[in-house]
Amino acid sequence: MRSVDELLVEFCRSGALAPLVLGMSASEVEKRIGQPGRVNVVQGDDCWQRYNYTGTSLSLFLRCHVPEARHRAATHRLGLRLTAITICVAAGAQLILPEAIVPAPIRPQVLLFADLHRLLIDGGVEVTNDGDQRLSRALDHAYIQVEGLDGLVRRIEATRRQPADAASVRPGRKRAP
């Protein structure tokens, strides 16, 4: 059984949160960790779905780019790909992940920003610290961001990187430098 520390270090090192890997299809996601408790859908030239796993800190963002409106309804479900894996922890709340990711119960814990930063450094994960409770890491296939507030980790996210496509970042998020 992996510890939460090992899981978070590997997530920040690789951008994968086993068994989830950026770029996998919606059906693969559901097969590996189950149906989400809630799905939010946004359509336009990009079809977005946000999978929320009820009672956990996990949200997934899936995207399908279908520029022609007449093809959207028929193809968007088949073309959805996992674009972002996000762990959000409310202020003072505990980190909770679905059983498919952490099969055995883990002792929920509050994540301190300084502790996670030190854990990543000790684990050999190179991150850039902007000095304002934000860590970032660019991989060939993903951007990793860790955000803190008031000394606590609030969000850890791996976003699929597609350099040729400036619209590959989830709406409302800025592309990492």
Domain ranges of the chain: 4-36+85-160
* 140-171 tens-digit pLDDT: 999 999 999 989 999 999 999 864 443 444 44
Q: Examine the pLDDT at 102 and tell me if it is beyond 90.
A: no
Q: Distances in Å between the alpha carbon of 130 and those of 2, 36, 127?
A: 29, 34, 10
Token pair belonging to 9:
């270090």
> Binning pLDDT at 50, 70 and 90, where does residue 79 land?
confident
DSSP string, 20-54: B-TT-BHHHHHHHH---SEEEEE-SSEEEEEEE-T
For the chain, percent of residues with pLDDT exceeding 70: 75
| Long-range contacts of the stretch 44-53 (C-beta < 8 A, 24+) | 46/167, 47/72, 47/76, 47/79, 47/80, 48/170, 48/171, 49/80, 53/98
E strands, 131-176, are 134-138, 142-149, 152-160
* 3-62 tens-digit pLDDT: 788 889 999 999 999 999 999 999 999 999 999 999 988 766 677 889 999 988 999 999
Looking at per-residue pLDDT, the higher value among 139 and 106 belongs to: 139
The count of residues in the chain is: 177
- pLDDT score, position 21: 95
For the chain, percent of residues with pLDDT exceeding 90: 49
- pLDDT score, position 30: 94
Lowest-confidence pick of 68-72, 91-95, 105-109, 142-146 = 68-72
Compute the distance between CA of residue 146 and CA of residue 113 in angstroms, rounded to an integer.
Answer: 9
Instruction: With beta carbons less than 8 A apart as the criterion, state whether 114 and 151 touch.
Output: yes
Closest C-alpha among 119, 169, 116 to residue 142:
169
> Binning pLDDT at 50, 70 and 90, where does residue 89 land?
confident
Compute the distance between CA of residue 115 and CA of residue 162 in angstroms, rounded to an integer.
Answer: 31
Lowest-confidence pick of 87-91, 112-116, 155-159 = 87-91
DSSP string, 50-106: EEE-TTSSEEEEEEEE--SHHHHHHHHHHH-EEEEEEEE--TTPPP---TTTS-S--
Q: How many CB atoms lie within 10 A of CB 159?
A: 22
- pLDDT score, position 99: 87
Q: Examine the pLDDT at 76 and tell me if it is beyond 70.
A: no
